[in-house]
Structure 1
Amino acid sequence: MRTGMMALALGLLTLRFLPVLPPVWLWLLLPVLGLMCLPFRSYPVAFYLFGLSWAGANAQWALDDRLAPELDGETRWIEGRVTGLPHQGEGVVRFQLSDGQSRRARLPEHMRLAWYNGPPVKSGERWRLAVKLKRPVGLLNPHAFDYQAWLLAQRIGATGTVTAGERLAPARGAWRDAIRQRLQAVDAQSRSGALTALVLGDGSGLSRDDWQVLQNTGTVHLLVISGQHVGLLAGVVYLLIAGLARYGCWPSRLPWLPWACGLAFSAALGYGMLAGFEVPVRRACLMIGLVLLWRLRFRHLGAWWPLLLALNGVLLLDPLASLRPGFWLSFAAVAVLLFTFGARLGAWRWWQTWTRAQWLIAIGLCPILLVLGLPISLSGPLANLLAVPWISLVVLPPALLGTFLLPLPYVGEGLLWLAGGLIDGLFRALAMLAGKVPAWVPAAIPLWLWGIGALGAFVLLLPKGMPIRPLGWPMLLLLAFPPQSKLPEGIAEIWQLDVGQGLAIVVRTRHHTLLYDAGPRLRELDLGERVVVPTLRKLNIDGLDLMLISHAHADHAGGAGAVARAFAVKQVISGHPLEMPPQLDAQACESGRQWTWDGVQFRLWQWSFAGDLNQRSCVLQIEAQGERILLTGDIDAKAERALLDSSLAVPTDWLAAPHHGSRSSSSMALLNGLQPKGVLISRGLGNSFGHPHPTVLARYRKQGMAIYDSAEQGAIRLHLGRFEPPWTMRQERRFWRDPPPPNP
């Protein structure tokens, strides 16, 4: 039976690694093949096929529920009900709309909407909204968070921006949102957001600084992922009833064991529902339920059997859970603890158990965090050593009790005030620790090297005294100090990052790195901080020799501050240095300036008679082994004519589309003068500017140019000097992504 359950789990998990989904008829055939295996006692094969079929069918249902392509970009009036917990901050309300209906159009069951400068929206309300609909997409960058996979895991079939709306019905049955509003109204010593995260699993009230502190110290799970708190609450209830029965305080007419198990599971289930019933909570509730059920029958369940059943239970209820990073971290952390403390000879003292658990979890999760592309907290073991008991034993009891006693005047509010003060003290201590030891974002490494490091972590988790255990350290340290591969002399690696409606291009030679523009910043969204900085770290870049900002518009220069804070930048050049922040100490772009890095030549140009910021864009030409690319910023047709009179007016292989392909740029004169064979377009999908303009695309196609569009193909990598076609992120196939468009 256990082998069958392992095969079922393997079948359910296979979905995560499929590049494409097979046709529907195959999903229908797999269960039939599984049934045919049963008479031959091939139970593992049958269970594997059952799991794969169920996971694949669910994925296909979720993909079929996405917004129809013909509705992408349209604005429609929609009626629907607000579900989940809406988030309002910095001038925008974000919420989920379910059961949306529109005339003459089928809509997805769940949609994620944003309403800029909109009114307060409450869960359970029914609204009529004018929404500009979009198919669920996300930015695609190397080793970055996959937003499109997260949307599919949440079964979000469309996103959209609300332009107008009216409330049709008040909130009904939205008890979680009502509790959140009560918690936010309480004086919790400025920590109501942290209390809401701890009690309800809703981290929207935490500030960006709070998130950074939690990430740097590896304590995010304490406030948002509350699986361990569910187990703690169930254990407290069980031990309380067992203690009352032992000392004769429990009613004799009531058998204490069934009541203890029933009330413990009810407490876990109730807190799980309060916390949103996410994957870690489901895992905890399933494991608790199994342990209590076996306890009622006076049987020893063991450690791994509940984890395996919980894994299958979570995946059967939601096969797309494997697309979420939290799923892997939750089950991996429990597996590390079971492996660490299971079948050991001799007993550890309590303080040895607690300290070793933190370090061993850090070692065990290190390969998981690395493959998921998440930061690794170097201070996590020390921080969790203090923070876990503080939150679980000191903060959580008054927080939960205060929440349930809010109807009583002063009592509930007093307990929450106390819990808020306790959390505030913890955050102050964690902030001091995070300031000294920030999180580590390791560089991406090849799969074979990751496998060696993962094997090293496994060896280190073996019991003390195993002869091969010391070999684990050098194997694990390969993850931190991987062998470096240098670009050949005379070759430049160029990454055009996917930053939406903006531009950020990374240029690397053998020993130098240049960043051309730093991505956009709009309101609270800083793509320099969210995309450019993490990508540079994943590319194993620890400093910039030059940051060249073409001009001072926010879609090109908005992320420069975040990049400068994260990396040592030796020099900053801008097409309009007076408009740049003073701390960047930007220098002016000098036409005619040129230099050579590792056999790669660089030349600058700027129109001296420019009339606006776009025309003053600093243009960069890069040449490697005779292959050229021209980075043009936002110059228009007038600046392009001036460029054709400069020394840069030579045959060019690749052109970064001027002004994102706007109608006022990419003139036929420029295309005829440079004769590029391909163009790289950086823009946001469905942007309000209409970039790239259809007439510009027609010019590109008339010239026979290959078109590489970040909105359709994600980040684009070009090895200049090899005369090879670029590689795009969309070529890295995943079943939830659309295939890359064909090129002429």
Structure 2
Amino acid sequence: MRTGMCALALGLLAVVFLPTLPATGWLIGMLALALMLLPFRTYPLAFFLLGLSWACIGAQWALNDRLSPALDGQTRWVEGRVTGLPQQTEEAVRFELTDGRSRAGRLPKRIRVSWRDGPPVRSGERWRLAITLKRPAGLLNFHGFDREAWLLAQRVGATGSVKDGQRLAPAHNAWRDGVRQRLLAVDAHGREAGLAALVLGDGSGLTTEDWQVLQDTGTVHLLVISGQHIGLLAGLIYGLIAGLARRGAWPRGWPWLPWACGLAFAAALGYGLLAGFGVPVQRACVMVGLVLLWRLRFRHLGVWWPLLLAFNGVLILEPLASLQAGFWLSFAAVAVLILAFSGRLGPWSLWQVWTRPQCAIAVGLFPVLLVLGLPISLSAPLANLVAVPWISLVVLPLALLGTALLSVPVVGEGLLWLAGGALDGLFVGLAWLAGHMPAWLPAQVPWAAWLVSLLGAVVLLLPRGVPLRGLGWPMLLLAVFPPRAPVPHGQVDVLQLDVGQGQALILRTRNHTLLYDAGPRAGAFDLGARVVLPSLKKLGVAKLDLLLLSHADADHAGGAVAIARGMPVDRVISGETQRLPALLGAQACVSGRQWVWDGVAFELWQWPEAISGNAKSCVLQVQANGERLLLTGDIDHAAERALLDSPLAVPTDWLQAPHHGSHSSSSWAFLERLAPRSVLISRGRGNAFGHPHPQVMERYRALGSRVYDSAEQGAVRLQLGAFATPEVARGQRRFWRERLP
């Protein structure tokens, strides 16, 4: 049976790797075959097919609930009910709408919307909203966060921005929102938002600095309700009853073990209900329930059995849970602890019980974090040694008890004041630690090196005395210094990132790196920090030889400060130095300036008569083995005419479409002279400017140019100098991604 359960788990996971979901006929065939195989005791294959079929059915239901393509980009009046806890920021309020109805047609069950400068919105209210609806989508970069997959796993069928609205009915059964408002109103040393995160799972009130501190110290799991919090509460109830029974204080007529397991599970469910019972909380409750059931009836089956049952149970309840990083981190952490604690002889000292779990987690989760592309905190073992017991034994009990007693004058608020003070003191220490040891984002590791690293982690988790256990360290550390294929001499690895309505291109020769534009920034939303800087680190770039900002507009230079703070930059050049922050120390773009890196020629140009803005964009031409790339920034028709009199006005293989394909650029004379074989367009999907303009696209088609559009194809990677077909991020087929046009 255990083999069958493993096969079921593999089947439930296999859907993640499918480029497309099987048709209905194939699903029926797989189910029929699985049922036919069961009587012949071919359990592994039968359970694998059953798991795969169920996962495909669940995934297809989620895809069917997406917004119709006919409504994509349309503004429609929608009536619906606000669910969950709305997130109020200085810029907008974000919330989810369910049971949406519109005369335009059927709508998804869940719509995630944002209302800029909108009024306060409460959970449980009914609203009539004018929403510009969009199909679930997001930026798509190589090795980056896949928002489309995340939205699918959340069962969000559409997103949108609210233009107008009116409240139709007040909040109904919105007790969680009421608890949040009361928590935010108490005096908790400025840590009211942290208490709301602990008690309700609502992290929207935490500042960007708070999240950065938690990430740098590897303690995010402590402020986001996870299996640890659910398990802790269940463990406290179980331990309390067990302690009473050992001391003879428990009623003799009541068997203590069933009562301990039952009340512990009830406490876990109650905490889960308080936290909104989202997918992570459901996963934790399933795991706690199965562990308690194992303790009550099935201890003879071994410690791995409840983990396997919980793994399958979570995926059966939510087949798309494996698309979320939290799913893998939760089960991997439990598996690491089981492996670290099992097979040991003799009792452990208190010091060992306190320190060994954190060391085991640091080693065991290292390869998991690598493959998920997440930052690795070097200070996490030290931070968690203090933070885990402090949160578990001090802050969380005070916060839960204070919340439960809020109706009692002074008592509830006093307990929350103590909890807030304890949490604030912890944050002070974590901030100091984060300042000295920030999180490390490693470069992308080849699969072979990662597998060796994973094997090394498993070897290190084995008991002492296992032969050759010491070899685990060099195997594990292979992922820190993985072998990489260098860029060939005379070629350039060019990566146009998907940064929405903005631009950022990474150019790497064998020994040098140049970044052309730094991505957009709008308020606190800085894609230089969120996309460009992580992409550079994933490529193994330790420093920038040149940061070239075409001009100072926010969609091109907005992320420059974050990049300059995140890694060393030897030199900054821009077409508009006066409008850039002084800390960048930008130098002016000089027409005719040339240099050669590793056999690759670079040349700058700028229209000398330009006054400011788009026309002053610094243009860069790159030549590698006779293949040319021209990066033009946002030059307009006038600047294009001037460029035709320069040495750069020659046939070009790759052209970055001026001004994102705007009607004010890409004149016919300019395109006819350059005759680009391929065109790169960087823009946001459904942007308000209408980029690229239909007339511009018609000119490219008339020239026979192949267009690579970031809004449609995601990031684009090409090897300049190899005359090869480029790679596009959306070309990595997954069933949840829109097909290439």
TM-score, length of structure 1 as denominator length: 0.98
1:14-93 to 2 correspondences below 5 Å:
14-93=14-93
1:163-182 to 2 correspondences below 5 Å:
163-182=163-182
SS of equivalent residue, structure 1 residue 628: strand
- Post-superposition offset of 1:296: 4.1
RMSD across aligned C-alpha pairs, in angstroms?
1.3
Q: Counterpart of 2:667? A: 667
Q: Counterpart of 1:191? A: 191
- Superposed CA deviations along residues 573-611 of structure 1, whole A, max 9, x for unmatched, are 110100000000111111111111111111111111114
- Post-superposition offset of 1:739: 2.2
Q: Is the 8 A contact 2:622 2:628 kept in 1?
A: yes
SS of equivalent residue, structure 1 residue 70: helix
Q: Is the 8 A contact 1:641 1:670 kept in 2?
A: yes
- Post-superposition offset of 1:7: 1.3
User: Quick one: which amino acid aligns to residue 623 of structure 1?
Assistant: Q
Q: Counterpart of 1:12? A: 12
Q: Counterpart of 2:703? A: 703
CA distance in 2, matches of 1:165, 1:731: 39
CA distance in 2, matches of 1:627, 1:659: 23
CA distance in 1, matches of 2:717, 2:74: 32
Q: Counterpart of 1:404? A: 404
User: Quick one: which amino acid aligns to residue 603 of structure 2?
Assistant: R
Q: Counterpart of 1:242? A: 242
CA distance in 2, matches of 1:86, 1:139: 24
- Post-superposition offset of 1:350: 2.5
CA distance in 1, matches of 2:300, 2:185: 47
Q: Which stretch has the larger CA shift, 388-397 or 268-277?
A: 268-277
Q: Is the 8 A contact 2:545 2:571 kept in 1?
A: yes
Q: Counterpart of 2:259? A: 259
Q: Counterpart of 2:461? A: 461
User: Quick one: which amino acid aligns to residue 736 of structure 2?
Assistant: W
CA distance in 1, matches of 2:351, 2:280: 26
- Post-superposition offset of 1:276: 2.8
User: Quick one: which amino acid aligns to residue 106 of structure 1?
Assistant: R
Give % identity: 68
SS of equivalent residue, structure 1 residue 604: strand
Q: Counterpart of 1:449? A: 449
1:273 and 2:268 correspond: no
Q: Is the 8 A contact 2:11 2:47 kept in 1?
A: yes
User: Quick one: which amino acid aligns to residue 615 of structure 1?
Assistant: A
Q: Is the 8 A contact 1:110 1:156 kept in 2?
A: yes
User: Quick one: which amino acid aligns to residue 112 of structure 1?
Assistant: R
- Post-superposition offset of 1:469: 1.0
- Superposed CA deviations along residues 503-533 of structure 1, whole A, max 9, x for unmatched, are 0011111111111100000122100010000
1:473-492 to 2 correspondences below 5 Å:
473-492=473-492
Q: Is the 8 A contact 1:226 1:275 kept in 2?
A: no
SS of equivalent residue, structure 1 residue 614: helix
1:114 and 2:122 correspond: no
Q: Aligned pair in 2 of structure 1 residues 660, 85: CA closer, same or farther (>3 Å)?
A: same
Q: Is the 8 A contact 1:684 1:711 kept in 2?
A: yes
CA distance in 1, matches of 2:84, 2:510: 50
Q: Which stretch has the larger CA shift, 679-688 or 346-355?
A: 346-355
User: Quick one: which amino acid aligns to residue 642 of structure 1?
Assistant: A
SS of equivalent residue, structure 1 residue 692: coil
CA distance in 1, matches of 2:34, 2:540: 46
User: Quick one: which amino acid aligns to residue 352 of structure 1?
Assistant: Q
User: Quick one: which amino acid aligns to residue 438 of structure 2?
Assistant: P
Q: Is the 8 A contact 1:682 1:709 kept in 2?
A: yes
Q: Counterpart of 1:423? A: 423
Q: Is the 8 A contact 1:279 1:326 kept in 2?
A: no
CA distance in 1, matches of 2:261, 2:448: 47
SS of equivalent residue, structure 2 residue 353: helix
1:656 and 2:679 correspond: no
SS of equivalent residue, structure 1 residue 79: strand
Q: Counterpart of 2:555? A: 555
Q: Aligned pair in 2 of structure 1 residues 417, 300: CA closer, same or farther (>3 Å)?
A: farther
Q: Is the 8 A contact 1:406 1:412 kept in 2?
A: yes
CA distance in 1, matches of 2:291, 2:220: 27
Q: Counterpart of 1:382? A: 382
- Post-superposition offset of 1:299: 5.0
Q: Counterpart of 1:349? A: 349
CA distance in 1, matches of 2:442, 2:194: 28
User: Quick one: which amino acid aligns to residue 658 of structure 2?
Assistant: P
SS of equivalent residue, structure 1 residue 218: coil
CA distance in 1, matches of 2:253, 2:325: 48
Q: Is the 8 A contact 1:291 1:301 kept in 2?
A: no
Q: Counterpart of 1:291? A: 291
Q: Counterpart of 1:123? A: 123
Q: Which stretch has the larger CA shift, 3-12 or 587-596?
A: 3-12
CA distance in 2, matches of 1:530, 1:70: 31
User: Quick one: which amino acid aligns to residue 78 of structure 1?
Assistant: V
Q: Is the 8 A contact 1:116 1:162 kept in 2?
A: yes
Q: Counterpart of 2:151? A: 151
- Post-superposition offset of 1:292: 2.9
- Post-superposition offset of 1:709: 0.1
TM-score, length of structure 2 as denominator length: 0.98
- Post-superposition offset of 1:300: 4.2
Q: Is the 8 A contact 1:504 1:518 kept in 2?
A: yes
CA distance in 2, matches of 1:213, 1:300: 43
CA distance in 2, matches of 1:22, 1:33: 15
Q: Is the 8 A contact 1:551 1:557 kept in 2?
A: yes
User: Quick one: which amino acid aligns to residue 556 of structure 1?
Assistant: H
Q: Counterpart of 1:367? A: 367
CA distance in 2, matches of 1:324, 1:360: 23
- Post-superposition offset of 1:360: 1.2
CA distance in 2, matches of 1:6, 1:144: 30
Structure 2: state its 5+ residue gaps: none
User: Quick one: which amino acid aligns to residue 327 of structure 2?
Assistant: F
SS of equivalent residue, structure 1 residue 569: coil
- Post-superposition offset of 1:480: 0.4
1:258-657 to 2 correspondences below 5 Å:
258-297=258-297, 300=300, 302-657=302-657
CA distance in 2, matches of 1:627, 1:570: 27
Q: Is the 8 A contact 1:8 1:44 kept in 2?
A: yes
CA distance in 2, matches of 1:371, 1:309: 24
Structure 1: state its 5+ residue gaps: none
CA distance in 1, matches of 2:295, 2:510: 63
CA distance in 2, matches of 1:630, 1:191: 51
User: Quick one: which amino acid aligns to residue 644 of structure 1?
Assistant: L
- Post-superposition offset of 1:312: 1.1
- Superposed CA deviations along residues 365-400 of structure 1, whole A, max 9, x for unmatched, are 111101100001111111111110010011111110
CA distance in 2, matches of 1:624, 1:203: 49
- Post-superposition offset of 1:548: 0.6
Q: Aligned pair in 2 of structure 1 residues 257, 475: CA closer, same or farther (>3 Å)?
A: closer
User: Quick one: which amino acid aligns to residue 288 of structure 1?
Assistant: V
User: Quick one: which amino acid aligns to residue 714 of structure 1?
Assistant: G
- Post-superposition offset of 1:280: 4.2
Q: Aligned pair in 2 of structure 1 residues 623, 235: CA closer, same or farther (>3 Å)?
A: same
Q: Is the 8 A contact 1:548 1:574 kept in 2?
A: yes
CA distance in 1, matches of 2:509, 2:472: 34
- Post-superposition offset of 1:419: 0.3
CA distance in 2, matches of 1:665, 1:566: 34
- Post-superposition offset of 1:289: 2.0
- Post-superposition offset of 1:612: 3.4
User: Quick one: which amino acid aligns to residue 417 of structure 1?
Assistant: W
CA distance in 2, matches of 1:439, 1:257: 43
- Superposed CA deviations along residues 201-254 of structure 1, whole A, max 9, x for unmatched, are 111111111111111111111110421121121121122223334434344554
User: Quick one: which amino acid aligns to residue 393 of structure 2?
Assistant: L
Q: Which stretch has the larger CA shift, 696-705 or 356-365?
A: 356-365
- Post-superposition offset of 1:283: 3.4
Q: Counterpart of 2:727? A: 727
Q: Is the 8 A contact 1:456 1:474 kept in 2?
A: yes
Q: Which stretch has the larger CA shift, 17-26 or 544-553?
A: 17-26
- Post-superposition offset of 1:255: 4.2
Q: Is the 8 A contact 2:446 2:482 kept in 1?
A: no
